[in-house]
Structure 1
Amino acid sequence: MEWLDQIEFWWWWALGLGLLALEIVVPGTFFMWMSVASAAVGALLLIHPGIDWEYQMLIFAVISVVSIAGFRYWQQRHPTESSDEMLNRRGAHYIGRTVIVLDAFVNGQGRVKLEDSSWSARSTDGSDFIAGAKARVTEVEGSTLIVEVAS
């Protein structure tokens, strides 16, 4: 453990670069804030080189926790806005669209064609459709389209 007494500022900066590299590989924004803490400890050690390694670790831990918690708090207060509210809900784009029944519905379930894809479908009221009939999508449950008679 004698080597811990000889930690210099650039060790913290190297750790910060390593954490940034890890941030690129791992999803989320967790390691970036630890990297900021590492850079801050390195800068502090550059200004005051005599800080014991125990205090360096404590400062690193405190800055890491505060920066991560602070970012999460800020992120909750300022959520990312998207120009497309249904961006990650592919099926939601299809609500209101007219589909063609591929396989006749039995007990209210069958398959429909939408654009170039075939989807599982269920009727809203359990009614059956004949093949070739038109239906309208009213909602989506997972990968199943909920349909009703098209008007």
Structure 2
Amino acid sequence: MIHYLQHLSFWDWLALATVLLILEVFGAGGYLLWIGLAAACVGVLTYLFPELPWVWQFFLFGLLAILTAVVWWRRQRSMLRPSDQPGLNRRGSELLGRRFALHEPIVGGRGKIKAGDSLWLVSGPDLPVGSQVKVVAQDGVILRVEQDA
């Protein structure tokens, strides 16, 4: 094994880079992309400097893998910005604070309201059909309501 490590060529690094980038295509989520690019860079460096010791090759590979991942991570973090639609993917949050008539009575703490063309499960005190309620909170797909005064 040590004999193989001492005679690594740029083809070995380029083959590793190719395998990593192919695996990335199959859905690694970006993790193998940067390691593959680091392997490709070490392959180029090994081509330019064929007498580069294998220890330095592995050191450069590790350093470049970490460096490329950190640079990309910092770039991605800097591009994050607050959404202009904070309620996106939070269905039901637009109903908080609004008032509705009960579509089905609240019995045993559960009932339904009609908001637009949708029926929503609600939890709150037992109330008859038609009672006015105010949405005060949201627990997943269940809206918490209280009787509106």
Normalized against structure 2, the TM-score is what?
A: 0.73
The RMSD of aligned alpha carbons is 3.0
**1:110 deviation in Å?**
2.2
Q: What residue identity is the alignment partner of 1:65?
A: I
Q: What residue identity is the alignment partner of 2:28?
A: V
Q: Which residue of 2 aligns with 1:21?
A: 22
Deviating runs (4+, > 6 A) in structure 1?
Answer: none
Instruction: Answer whether contact 1:122 1:147 (CA < 8 A) is retained.
Output: yes
Q: Are 2:126 and 1:128 equivalent residues in the alignment? A: yes
SS of the residue aligned with 2:92? helix
What is the CA deviation profile of residues 84-140 of structure 1, one whole-angstrom value per residue up to 9, with x for unaligned ones? 3333323324445665634311354323344565433123xxx33323556454432
Q: Distance in 2 between matches of 1:149 and 1:90?
A: 22
Q: Which residue of 1 aligns with 2:141?
A: 143
Q: Are 2:90 and 1:92 equivalent residues in the alignment? A: no
Instruction: Answer whether contact 1:100 1:114 (CA < 8 A) is retained.
Output: no
Percent of pairs with identical residues: 30
SS of the residue aligned with 1:14? helix
Instruction: Answer whether contact 1:122 1:144 (CA < 8 A) is retained.
Output: yes
How is 1:48-67 mapped onto 2 (pairs within 5 angstroms)?
48-67=49-68
SS of the residue aligned with 1:64? helix
| Residues 147 and 53 of structure 1, relative CA distance in 2, 3 Å threshold | same
Between the two proteins, the alignment pairs up a number of residues equal to 147
Q: Which moved more, 1:85-94 or 1:31-40?
A: 85-94
| Residues 88 and 13 of structure 1, relative CA distance in 2, 3 Å threshold | farther
| Residues 133 and 12 of structure 1, relative CA distance in 2, 3 Å threshold | farther
Structure 2: unaligned runs, 5 residues or longer: none
Structure 1: unaligned runs, 5 residues or longer: none
